[in-house]
Amino acid sequence: MLGAIIGDIVGSRFEFGAAPKRDFELFTSECSYTDDTICTVAIADAVLNGREYKDALRDWCNRYPDPMGAYGNMFAQWLASDDPQPMNSFGNGSAMRVSPIGWLYSDWEEVIGEAERSAVVTHNHPEGIKGAQCIAEVISWLRHMRFTKPEIERKVQKFFQYEIPPMKDILKIGAQGHFDATCQETVPMALRCFIDANNFEETIRLAVMCDGDTDTKACIAGSVAEAYYGIPDWMVERTFAYLPDDMLEILDQFYTKIRSEINPKQ
């Protein structure tokens, strides 16, 4: 979950500008959490505190109505509606907010089912659902099965029919100014960043350097990388400084639960 938030914060300042060079500064005063973080916290709150996904998303997004980068147009209309209905979206928003489900559920059926439930309140298009299910399941696989990266790539192709493009192709279309905003594009690109990088920090850097939807690509890649590598302490500390108290409370609740499941004595 925190891996997603770190990717979002680091990628935030590059969403609408040129991609940075390899040694760019990760955390600056221009960085902020964006909709990716707010929606991720909302999904965690829903699972941890027994809330409906729709209610939690609307609550958190209305608490933070004007994040850096703004909400997408369709999602903003959904937030403003008195009677919000699913919008048949296949935008990458369903995959960027799903990471808590990969940690808080374990069985294949549970992870797949909850990822779908978290998606369909807005992203009820089959590709929107699939994007969320794939990322939640990859996190679950990495945590419980300790699959290797080649195994992850094969299983993603087998169960979710994503062809993960080579990095050179992703960099090429990013350099051409292409902005990826769908699950079909962003999910396999983010997985390539995870597969090609050698550690958590490098995963985030690669995803941001691919340009396009930098915060969401880094958010999704970071959420997967956390399950594989963990997160360096210094990055956790820097990230906390960007987050308001109510988000920190949900993070505390989330990691307390995760730790207690790994070590029941804690």
Residues near Mg ion (CB under 5 A) are: 34-36, 69, 215
In terms of CB distance, is 137 or 215 closer to Mg ion? Answer: 215
In terms of CB distance, is 8 or 201 closer to Mg ion? Answer: 8
Q: How far is the CB of 154 from Mg ion (least distance, A)?
A: 30
Closest-approach residue to Mg ion (CB): 34
- Residue 232's alpha-carbon distances to 37, 64, 105, 202, in angstroms, are 19, 28, 24, 12
In terms of CB distance, is 69 or 102 closer to Mg ion? Answer: 69
DSSP 230: -
In terms of CB distance, is 96 or 164 closer to Mg ion? Answer: 96
Residue with tokens 């108290």: 245
Q: How far is the CB of 41 from Mg ion (least distance, A)?
A: 13
CA count, 13 A, side-chain hemisphere, 225:
32
Taken as a whole, the chain contains a residue count of 266
In terms of CB distance, is 64 or 229 closer to Mg ion? Answer: 64
Residue with tokens 């040694």: 23
Dist CA 38 CA 42 (whole Å): 6
Region class of 179: left (phi > 0), else alpha (psi between -120 and 50), else beta: beta
Backbone angles phi, psi at 219, to 5 degrees: -60, -50
For the record, the structure tokens of 223 come out as: 């959420």
Coil/strand/helix, residue 185: helix
Q: How far is the CB of 146 from Mg ion (least distance, A)?
A: 30
Q: How far is the CB of 232 from Mg ion (least distance, A)?
A: 23
Q: How far is the CB of 71 from Mg ion (least distance, A)?
A: 8
